[in-house]
Amino acid sequence: MQRFILSKKNQIAIIGAILIVFGFFSRFALRNETIATIAFTAASVIGIAPIAIQAYQALRVRVVSIDLLVTIAVFGAFLIQNFEESAIVTFLFLFGAYLEQRTLNKTRSAIKELTEMAPESALKQLENGEFVEVEVDEVDVGDILLVKTGAKIPVDGTVLTGEGHINEASITGEPLPVSKHAESSVFAGTILENGTLQIVADRVGEDTTFGRIIELVEEAQDSKSEAERFIDRFARWYTPAVLVFAVIVWLFSRDVELAITILVLGCPGALVIGVPVSNVAGIGNGASHGVLLKGSEVIVEFSRVDTIVFDKTGTLTIGEPEVADIQIHSADVEMMKSYVASIENESDHPLAKAVVKHIGPVQLLPVERTNVIKGGGIVAEVNGHSVVVGNPTLMEREGVRLSDRAREEVSKLEANGNSLVMASIDGELQALIGIRDQVRPGVNGDLAKIKKLGVKNLVVLSGDNQGTVDRVARELGLTEAHGHMLPEDKAAYVQGLIDKGHIVAFVGDGVNDSPSLALAHIGIAMGSGTDVAIETSDVVLMNSDFSKLPHALGLTKATANNMRQNIAIAVGVVLFLLASVFFSDWMNMSIGMFVHEGSILVVILNGMRLLRYKLKS
């Protein structure tokens, strides 16, 4: 029976909420106190059952838990026939337990999803030179594997032969495919978008970068044991102290009513209610503003953050490459645009798509004799003219001469973190196009607000090149910037900050960010990021709205302060009531319970203020 009741805690909480609402409706709308009392009593009896069972189970192993505190508070309310208070106490406690359990379940599922994303098979070369499909577990270090277009790279390895473009977003978080050729390194879990590669396995299974991501998430989650709530620590000493104190008073005074009065007044109902009310109100405010806060521990820890580490792509930046700068060298701009768009329209490469999008609607001309140069660009014939569109290496290969002015422009564009696309017609340079991932609009102002809230260090980590990362850092006024960072590098950097005593939050959106999200004191995921990143995190910014981050930080600080205020009010009132029993002539159970009820109303109203919280600009 105990196991059945404990398995139905969520359903019991729902039934309790319905009964409480019905009780207030009966009292104020129907003016029927009898029905209201029956509803509150039923809610109390149903709600206290799982709590009392947990208190009993804890006592069996000599642990005085918060469940015992709640049980005493409810029985105390029953003794003075205040069924309304007992009903509310049991519901809020069960609802808080539901929120905590829901967060734990989601966190556990992150490991499962990561595992499901890992490659399952590979094409392995046999001794006779043929390739056969085998389970990835059958691949050993030194084996030669064949990877075709669209397939996942099964191991960490080195390219032996072939060329292609690999989407490494699952490892580096960067959206642009990376060109691979002989002697290039490849990572398990990444996707070959085009081309065919033969690779030799350098690391397999759990030793791969992707395997390490899974391992890092597991380790980080294990290291993040739940901080013991203040009320649990308080109850461990306070609850038995009140019980012992009431017994001592009875032994010396032989006054049963006085002992019961001390026991009832000593049960801090406002303490039990105050913190959940602050939590629920804070979480409710966050939800209404597009911020998901996963529990009270998250709120308290987030409010103490002094360092925020950001992933770059998809977090500080939009995550899609766009044309940021264009230098025209053509006398006929419209002709040049038509030629370039005609050729780039033949390609699915992200840089080509960015160029076509920027040029807009133009006349597309027939493209002939197209030659795609992997890792370089495209050489083709348009209207009888030889047209080359690609990077500087391709221009040099095709003999396109660059003037001193063009070379200066190339250096300037590269220094600003751009990927270069150059266009030439009949050997003459026509345009230089700088493409980069753009900073999210409004991020500068949002970071200024974060600094005002007391965050001292703002750091960006990225798998992108250092020049691009430095440009973003300069543009946003960040404290530090580090490029060429793999997932384990990011996690190691976060751990280093933690070891130095910083309270660290990490903001990211990709699978590659999940180890750092889990390892940091607070992991913050963009809502459009991967499910793994979202479920590993403690805070989610829905719709990937970066402007919600300052609100989330300010809200957690306000909520943490509100919790402390409610705790101070609750404890202060209890101490006042207990002292008044002995040092005043006017204190009795009726007056004490009136003050007691007043304190509950005060902490509830104080907590509800959070529903109206808005970050001051």
Question: Would you call 590 exposed, middle or buried from its count of C-beta atoms within 10 A (0-12, 13-18, 19+)?
Answer: exposed
Q: Is the pLDDT reported for residue 307 higher than 90?
A: yes
Query: What's the pLDDT band for 64 if we cut at 50, 70, 90?
Result: low
Query: What's the pLDDT band for 504 if we cut at 50, 70, 90?
Result: very high
585: annotated active-site residue: no
Query: What's the pLDDT band for 320 if we cut at 50, 70, 90?
Result: confident
pLDDT in tens, 327-347: 988 888 889 999 899 888 888
Q: Say which CATH class 120-153+156-203 falls into.
A: mainly beta
pLDDT in tens, 425-459: 998 999 999 888 788 889 999 999 999 999 999 99
Q: Of the spans 59-68, 247-256, 340-349, which averages the highest pLDDT?
A: 340-349
pLDDT in tens, 4-53: 888 888 899 899 999 999 999 998 899 999 999 999 999 989 999 998 99
Query: What's the pLDDT band for 110 if we cut at 50, 70, 90?
Result: very low
Q: Is the pLDDT reported for residue 230 higher than 80?
A: no
CATH topology of domain 299-311+446-545: Rossmann fold (3.40.50)
Residues of the chain with CATH 3.40.1110.10: 319-439
Q: What is the pLDDT of residue 505?
A: 95
Catalytic residue among 311, 446, 470, 538: 311
Do residues 324 and 436 touch, judged by C-beta distance below 8 A?
A: yes
Neighbours of 80 (CB within 10 A): 18
Do residues 567 and 230 touch, judged by C-beta distance below 8 A?
A: yes
Residues of the chain with CATH 3.40.50.1000: 299-311+446-545
Q: Is the pLDDT reported for residue 258 higher than 80?
A: no
Residue 465, CA distances (Å) to 75, 169, 410, 448, 484 in order: 64, 14, 17, 25, 6
Do residues 369 and 382 touch, judged by C-beta distance below 8 A?
A: no
Q: Is the pLDDT reported for residue 205 higher than 50?
A: yes
Q: Is the pLDDT reported for residue 104 higher than 50?
A: no
Tell me the mean pLDDT in the region 225-230: 42
Do residues 440 and 459 touch, judged by C-beta distance below 8 A?
A: no
Q: What is the pLDDT of residue 222?
A: 47
Q: What is the pLDDT of residue 225?
A: 32
- Percent of the chain past pLDDT 90, that is, above it, reads 26
Q: Is the pLDDT reported for residue 589 higher than 60?
A: no
Nearest Cα to Cα of residue 442 among 599, 321, 319, 548 = 548
Q: What is the pLDDT of residue 349?
A: 77
Distance of alpha carbon 449 from alpha carbon 442, whole angstroms: 11
Q: What is the pLDDT of residue 244?
A: 83
Q: What is the pLDDT of residue 228?
A: 35
In this structure, the strands spanning 419-425 and 428-439 are: antiparallel
Q: Is the pLDDT reported for residue 68 higher than 70?
A: yes
Distance of alpha carbon 511 from alpha carbon 282, whole angstroms: 28
Residues of the chain with CATH 2.70.150.10: 120-153+156-203
Cα distance between the two ends of the chain? 55
Q: What is the pLDDT of residue 488?
A: 85
Q: Is the pLDDT reported for residue 182 higher than 60?
A: yes
Tell me the mean pLDDT in the region 268-297: 75
| CATH classification for the domain delimited by 319-439, as one of 3.40.1110.10, 3.60.21.10, 2.40.30.10, 3.40.50.1950 | 3.40.1110.10
Q: Is the pLDDT reported for residue 88 higher than 70?
A: yes
Q: Is the pLDDT reported for residue 479 higher than 90?
A: yes
Q: What region does 181 belong to: left with phi over 0, alpha with psi -120 to 50, or beta?
A: beta
The torsion angles phi and psi of 504, rounded to 5 degrees, stand at -110, 135
pLDDT in tens, 343-397: 888 887 778 888 999 988 888 888 888 888 877 888 999 888 899 998 888 888 8
Average pLDDT, the chain: 82
Q: What is the pLDDT of residue 478?
A: 94
Q: What is the pLDDT of residue 173?
A: 53
Q: What is the pLDDT of residue 348?
A: 76
Which of 68-82, 368-382, 538-552 is least confident?
Answer: 68-82
